[in-house]
Structure 1
Amino acid sequence: MNTALAGTFDDARNAATLGDAKGLSSLIDGGIGPDSADANGNTLLILAAREGQAAVIEVLLKRGAAVDYRNPAGDSALMLAVLGGHDEAARALLAGGAKVNHEGWAPLHYAAFEGRDALLDALLGAGADVNARAPNLATPLMLAARNGHAGMVRRLLAIPGTDLNALNDAGLSADAWARQNRNTDIAALIEAERKRRGLPAPALRITIE
């Protein structure tokens, strides 16, 4: 990624985070690279996405910004837009071809973790894997169940391919993790869906150290 001169980058960063699409466009015309990044490895696109600046995102994508670049923490612009619940920004990135499936944490994990129901259809429509595994082996269903997002859990349970018996790295299924966090109503939803599908209870995995 290009690193702009400090003064110029400060102007571009401010334009990106404050939603000054016209000003940023002028700065790019003046020579600043659309993939310029700050000292933490956050590109202008990532900074705009984190603040939900959809108009800036569209400008950057038209100027050739790398839509799938991930910062040193592993976050892409789409992941941060989803994390912040910036629906319009996330949709602009999806329209720009942002990837929804990749190694590590993915956008659907963040949507489930935060209960971003409004973005679920958009992510799935773009091909997001409903059973994608996070680094801790959690699936989106597990994350939604753990954090008490009943609406997201119901929507994930309504998808025939959602795996109800997957286990995370601690050996917990989605309903077990929900119960561990006192989300007993969500655990009951998952157990009822497992029964409806005629599935057995998940096998326990016990690690002895």
Structure 2
Amino acid sequence: MLSPDIIRKFLIAAASSFLLAGPVAASSYDDALNSARMGDTRLLVDLLSRGIDPNTVDSSGNTLLIIAAREGNAETVAALVAYRPRLDYRNLTGDSALMLAALQGHEKVVDVLLNAGAPLNHAGWTPLHYAAFEGRLAVVERLLRAGADLNLLAPNQSDALMLAARNGHIDVVRKLIEAGSVLDRKNDAGLTAEEWARSRGNTDIADLIAKARKAR
């Protein structure tokens, strides 16, 4: 039996072949991908109006929306949203447009995607996990206001607080504590956020979490 990854790659290749076989030329396909990457909104809108599928994907399974979001092209993302692409689509590594925008700290892109209804809470890595891991405080605040679930766990059974604590992002840790994060949860290595922070030399964060736990 073929693996899910092989099947997905086959479907992507088939979709691309269908696109190129249709009325839109191969050059237009490449132009669409490049315009999403470079933030050439005018060209991309022209291509979309001529029939390019807004869910067109590259060889890595990145849709036009994912590419534009990853690169921080907020205007292009907003233009794409008007063509109703799949907001929940994930590339071959499992990343959505909102996840990559959160990871990179593209605040304006995050705003556009949240306003469009991009999914926040789902199994596996989430936008909040990515933002916390990278210390993107402004993005974390946006995600929390939009309803991001503090209790969702990454594949390594870590929550957002643990990830921020591990990587030394004290402002994010403080915000997550204020938002009500669980302070004594353990990940798959048996470490709490406080223990993980201390093991990484982030003693200021470990002390902050310990103080918050005593105050509860």
Identical amino acids, percent of aligned pairs: 54
Distance 1:176 1:68 in 2: 34
Q: Report matched runs for 1:166-181 at 5 Å.
A: 166-181=185-200
Aligned to 1:184: 203
Q: Deviations over 1:9-60 (max 9, x none)?
A: 2101111111111110100112210000001100000000000011111111
Which secondary structure does the structure 1 equivalent of 2:195 belong to? helix
| Structure 1 unaligned blocks of 5 or more | 198-209
**Structure 2 counterpart of 1:29:** 49
Distance in 1, Cα, partners of 2:110 & 2:92: 20
Give the letter aligned to residue 68 of structure 2.
Answer: A
Shift of 1:113: 0.1
Q: What SS does the aligned partner of 2:93 have? A: coil
Q: Secondary structure at the match of 2:29?
A: helix
TM-score (norm 1): 0.91
2:4 maps to none
1:80 pairs with 91, 97, 100, which one? 100
Match of 1:91 in 2: 111
Q: Which runs of 4+ in 1 moved over 6 A?
A: none
Deviation at 1:121, TM superposition (A): 2.1
Partners of 1:23 and 1:118 in 2: how far apart? Answer: 31
- Which of 60, 65, 82 is matched with 2:80 structurally? 60
Aligned equivalents of 1:109, 1:24: Cα separation in 2: 31
Question: Does 2:28 correspond to 1:11?
Answer: no
- Determine which of 63, 69, 77 is the counterpart of 1:43: 63
* One of 127, 134, 141 as aligned partner of 1:107: 127
Q: Does residue 147 of the first structure (1) align with residue 179 of the second (2)?
A: no
The letter of the residue matching 2:200 is N
Give the whole-Å Cα distance in 2 for the aligned partners of 1:115 and 1:131.
18
Give the TM-score normalised by the residue count of structure 2.
Answer: 0.88
**Unpaired runs of at least 5, structure 2:** 1-11, 21-25
- The one-letter code sitting in structure 2 at the alignment partner of 1:76 is S
User: Which protein has the bigger helix share?
Assistant: 2
Equivalent AA in structure 2 for residue 95 of structure 1? N
Give the whole-Å Cα distance in 1 for the aligned partners of 2:155 and 2:108. Answer: 28
CA RMSD of aligned residues (A): 1.1
CA distance in 2, matches of 1:75, 1:50: 10
Q: Tell me, what secondary structure is at the counterpart of 1:41? A: coil
1:193 aligns with 2:196: no
